[in-house]
Chains A and B, each alone.
Chain A
Amino acid sequence: MSDATIEVIGLRKRFGPTLALDGMTFTVVPGRVTGFVGPNGAGKSTTIRVILGLDAPDEGTALVCGQPYQHLCHPLNHVGALVDAAALQPSRTARNHLLWMAHSQDMATSRVDAVIEFVGLGSAARRKAGGYSLGMRQRLGIAAAMLGDPPVLIMDEPFNGMDPEGIIWMRRLLRSFAAEGRAILVSSHLMSELQDMADHVVVVGRGRVLADASVDELVALASGNQVLVRTPTPAEAASALQRAGTVATVIDANTLSVSGLEAQRVVEILGQEHVPFSEVTAQRATLEDVYLQLTTGEAEFQVNPDGEARP
Chain B
Amino acid sequence: MSAAKTPPPPTREPRRGDFGPVLRSEWTKFRTVRGWVIGVVVVALLSVAFTFLAANGTHTGGCTFNGTPPPPGPGGGTSGGNCSLGHPYVPTGPDGEAVADSYYFVDQPLTGNGTITAQVTSLTGVTSTQSVNVATNSTTATRPGLAAWAKAGILVTPTTTQGSAYAAAMATGSHGVRLQYDYTHDTAGLPGSVSAGSPRWLRLTRTADTLTAYDSTNGTTWANIGTAHLAGLPPTVAVGLFVTSPVSFQGNSSGAPTLATATFDHVSIDSHNAPSAWRGQIIGTGSDDFYPTLGDGSYHRSDSSFVVSGSGDIAPGVIQGLLTPAAGFAVLQAVPYAAQVSYPYTLANGYYPLAPWAGFLVLCAYAVVALAVATFLVRRRDA
Contact = CB atoms under 8 A, between A and B. Distances in A.
A and B: interacting chains:
yes
Interface string B12-45: 1111011011101110110011110000000000
B21 A78 contact: no
Given A101-B25, A104-B22, A106-B18, A2 B10 contact: yes
B7 interface: yes
Which of B7, B12, B28, B383 has the most chain A CB atoms closer than 10 A to its own CB? B7
B382 A70 contact: no
A2 B7 contact: yes
Contacts of B7: 2-4, 65, 78, 151-152
Contacts of A260: none
A73 B15 contact: yes
Interface string A47-58: 001000111100
A151 B6 contact: yes
A100 B5 contact: no
B208 to A, nearest CB: 75
A53 B25 contact: no
A180 B1 contact: yes
B262 to A, nearest CB: 69
Contacts of B2: 149, 180
A151 B8 CA distance: 9
Contacts of A152: 7
B3 interface: yes
A160 interface: no
A171 interface: no
Interface string A152-185: 1000000000000000000000000100111000
- What does DSSP make chain B's interface, helix, strand, loop or mixed? loop
Contact of A104 (B10, B15, B21, B33): B21
A73 B6 CA distance: 16
A71 interface: yes
A91 B17 CA distance: 26
B304 interface: no
B231 interface: no
B261 to A, nearest CB: 68
A93 interface: yes
A192 interface: no
Nearest to A53: B383
B24 A93 contact: no
A96 interface: yes
B11 interface: yes
Nearest to B30: A100
A74 interface: yes
B32 A99 contact: yes
Given A149-B1, A180-B4, A92 B32 contact: yes
A54 B17 contact: no
Q: Select the residue from B1, B12, B22 with max chain A CB neighbours within 10 A.
A: B1
Given A93-B32, A103-B25, A67 B382 contact: no
A263 B256 CA distance: 108
A125 to B, nearest CB: 13
A199 to B, nearest CB: 16
Interface string B344-383: 0000000000000000000000000000000000000011
Contacts of B32: 92-93, 96-97, 99-100
Nearest to A70: B14
Nearest to A149: B1
Contact of B21 (A30, A106, A149): A106
Contacts of A93: 32
A73 B17 contact: yes
A222 B188 CA distance: 102
Contacts of A65: 7
Interface of A: 2-4, 30, 49, 53-56, 65, 67, 70-74, 77-78, 89, 91-93, 96-97, 99-101, 103-106, 146, 149, 151-152, 177, 180-182
Given A56-B382, A104-B22, 12 more contacts: A4-B7, A55-B382, A70-B14, A71-B14, A89-B33, A96-B32, A100-B25, A100-B26, A105-B21, A106-B18, A106-B20, A182-B5
15 contacts: A4-B5, A54-B382, A56-B382, A71-B11, A78-B8, A100-B32, A104-B25, A105-B17, A105-B21, A106-B17, A149-B1, A151-B6, A180-B2, A181-B4, A182-B5
7 A-B pairs with least C-beta separation:
A104-B25, A96-B32, A151-B5, A100-B28, A103-B25, A106-B21, A181-B5
